Amino acid sequence: MDGELLTIGAFAARARLSAKALRLYDRLGLLTPAHVDEVSGYRYYRVGQVERARLVVLLRRLDMPLARIAEVVEAEGSAAASLLGAYWDDAEERFASQRALAAYLRGRLSGRSSQMYEKFVVETVEVPERVVLTETRHVLATELPVWIPASLGRLEEGARACGGFDGPPFVVYYAEVSTESDGPVEACVPVADADAARAWVQAQGRAREIKVRVEPAQRLAYARIPKAQVAYPQIHVAFEAVEAWIAERGLSYDGPCREVYFADWDAAGPEDPVCDVAFPVK
């Protein structure tokens, strides 16, 4: 029965796909006809291909790109399920980020910025003087999701070779970062041994890229945010909430704003707290 050949029209009806879609999937190698008549060019499919075709239909309803659908349908059993799970994890993270962005834009457009700030709890913390490995780069907002983890990864490698960490990594913004303005931005990882850090930098031959400096003791005003909000531009509302808190209390700025990453980014879900947005104050 599975070997029975169906015309493209009959197969399309049974698979709940249009003939146009079947021709597209054929061109992409996603669902190839079992037989193509050399004279007429007519396509024929086997009954056994219906299940694969219906799987494609269902995956498309998840808005899965065709290239990723091809990976899923070619995989088998648990491997296919794992690919689907990875896609859906990415999708949920994207939806959470978009939901946060929509809330930010609604508040901005309706003039309710002050009400938006109320959901943030702003606190202060005293941070001692620390030695940090740093890397500075001019980057646009669209480049941050790639540059920040890559840079912190390089710095954390150095920290492990220098006696370990002396606090969570953080990123300092010395100027506006947007889709048109590129900072500069400095990635920082506190280290336990300043001399070992300087020696490591010299040994790597990366003194121009990665440097060692002393971060002075300071008081930080900060708000804690979930992973979904650590994205441009919705992260701005968190920074604005901290700025409003600072203004209300008559404090003054004592340095550039920063993001402090205190949690495992890869292990965190969209709603898990991962980052403090902060300003040094006095």
Which residue from 60, 64, 67 is spatially nearest to 21, judged by alpha carbons?
Answer: 60
User: Which range marks the domain in which residue 62 is found?
Assistant: 5-74
Q: Domain for residue 274, yes or no?
A: yes
Give the model's pLDDT for residue 4.
78
Give yes or no for a cis peptide into 190 (omega within 30° of 0).
Answer: no
Q: Domain for residue 107, yes or no?
A: no
- Rounded-to-5 percentages of helix, strand, coil across the chain: 45, 25, 30
How far is 165 from 163, CA to CA, in rounded Å?
7
10-residue mean pLDDT series, the chain (282 residues): 75 84 83 82 85 87 88 87 90 78 75 73 95 94 89 91 90 90 94 88 73 94 92 83 94 96 90 95 96
Give the model's pLDDT for residue 215.
94
Residues 166 and 236 in one domain: yes
Residues 148 and 10 in one domain: no
Give yes or no for a cis peptide into 273 (omega within 30° of 0).
Answer: no
Is the distance from CB of 229 to CB of 273 less than 8 angstroms? no
Give the model's pLDDT for residue 51.
86
CATH of the domain at 165: 3.20.80.10
How far is 36 from 41, CA to CA, in rounded Å?
6
How far is 206 from 211, CA to CA, in rounded Å?
8
Residues 49 and 174 in one domain: no
How many domains does one find in the chain? 2
Is the distance from CB of 172 to CB of 188 less than 8 angstroms? yes
